[in-house]
Amino acid sequence: MIHAMTGTDTEVGKTVATAVLAARSLSHGHSVAIYKPTQTGLGKSEPGDAQDVARWLGNPGQLSAFEGVRLRHPMAPVDAALCAGLDPAAVLPTLAQHVQQVGELDATHDVVIIEGAGGLLVELTAAGETIADLAQAVGASLVVAARPDLGTLNHTALTLEACSTRGFTRGTLLLGSYPEQPEPLHQRNLANLRNMAAGHGWDFAGALPAGLVRDPSRCRAALHEAAATLAWPCPGPC
Ligand SMILES: Nc1ncnc2c1ncn2[C@@H]1O[C@H](COP(=O)(O)OP(=O)(O)OP(=O)(O)O)[C@@H](O)[C@H]1O
Ligand SMILES: C[C@H](N)[C@H](N)CCCCCC(=O)O
Ligand SMILES: [Mg+2]
């Protein structure tokens, strides 16, 4: 089973949602590979998104973390390469190379979770392919993480419309971080996004409580608790 984790924007909770989905798969006894095709905004020695997921879950033997390429500037991959004085075509893996890597992970793990960079249409390759192209190429199911705040209706509608026009007639929408004291706006947006998912024929997995990874001593338990509450549609191993 291959999931492609994307979002309506950067910083919406894709990595945390990846960790919750991985926790769910681990709790079903599945092996999991986390693949971040292009990690930007971090130096060589800093933990990236895939390593964060492994650490938060206690570095279980059943979970492995992989990264395609890492660039220091906190930007979209092509810009991060250009700002480093590098040729994007020389440093960013091609779609074919990402497909091969995912294929190798899929052959050796029950579940593969790919996390994009930023939102759905951020280009991961020099040729301009996105996480949507990679998801299509490997037959991944799309998961979109969204915010609960003002602005999410437009961002989420645009993202789901872009998914539909690319042939993703199914997928899962979730809220990446839902306040512990939600205001009426957040409550309305929870209902609005549930309805929006249904309008596109997508599933709505629910809202991840904010603060899930705040306390390092409780990350693993909190992520597994959140995984148990998700309304996750689960064809096959997930
Ligand atoms: N449910 C949550 N509980 C606790 N912290 C959260 C939650 N969701 C998001 N965050 C925090 O918000 C910030 C952004 O979340 P995250 O890193 O998952 O975003 P992202 O969409 O993966 O960003 P990027 O595009 O850089 O990969 C992080 O500091 C993360 O720890
Ligand atoms: C640096 C950040 N955390 C992500 N890794 C990359 C986000 C790229 C967003 C590009 C954009 O939508 O403007
Ligand atoms: Mg992330």
Q: Which of 5, 9, 12, 16 to mutate to test the pocket of ligand 1 (most atoms within 8 A of CB)?
A: 16
Q: Report which of residues 233 and 19 the model is more confident about.
A: 19
CA–centroid distance, 30 to ligand 3, in Å, is 22
**pLDDT digits 0-9 by tens, 187-224:** 999 999 999 999 999 999 999 999 999 999 999 999 99
**What average pLDDT is seen over the chain?**
96
* Number of CB atoms found within 10 A of residue 49's CB: 22
Q: Is the CB of 10 under 6 A from ligand 2?
A: yes
Mean pLDDT of 124-130: 98
Burial of 6 (0-12, 13-18, 19+ CB in 10 A): buried
Residue 232: predicted pLDDT? 80
CA–centroid distance, 222 to ligand 3, in Å, is 18
Token pair belonging to 162 = 């872009």
ipTM: 0.96
Complete domains list, the chain, with CATH: 2-229 (3.40.50.300)
Residue 113: predicted pLDDT? 98
Q: What are phi and psi of 148, to 5 degrees?
A: -95, 0
Q: How far is CA 82 from CA 88, 90, 104, 119, 213, in A?
A: 7, 11, 29, 20, 33
Question: Strands (DSSP E) along 41-171, which ranges?
Answer: 63-71, 111-115, 141-146
Residue 231: predicted pLDDT? 84
SS3 letters for 101-132? HHHHHHHHCCEEEEECCCCCCCCCCCCCCCHH
**pLDDT digits 0-9 by tens, 23-69:** 999 999 999 999 999 999 999 999 999 999 999 999 999 999 999 99
Give me the catalytic one of 24, 36, 109, 220: 36
Mean pLDDT of 1-7: 98
CA distance 231 to 86: 43
Look up tokens 């997508």; give the residue.
Answer: 202
Partner residues linked to 142 by β-bridges: 4
**pLDDT digits 0-9 by tens, 64-93:** 999 999 999 999 999 999 999 999 999 999
Q: Is 115 annotated as a binding residue?
A: yes
44 catalytic? Reply is no
Mean pLDDT of 144-153: 98
- Residue 26: DSSP 8-state: H
Question: What pTM did the predictor assign?
Answer: 0.97
Q: Is 25 annotated as a binding residue?
A: no
CA distance 93 to 95: 7
Residue 167: predicted pLDDT? 95
Share of the chain above pLDDT 90, in %: 96
Residue 153: predicted pLDDT? 98
Q: Is 177 annotated as a binding residue?
A: yes
CA–centroid distance, 16 to ligand 1, in Å, is 6
Q: Is the CB of 41 under 6 A from ligand 2?
A: yes
Buried b (16+ CB within 10 A) or exposed e, 53-89: bbbbbeeeebbbbbbbbbbeeebbbbbbbeeeeeebe
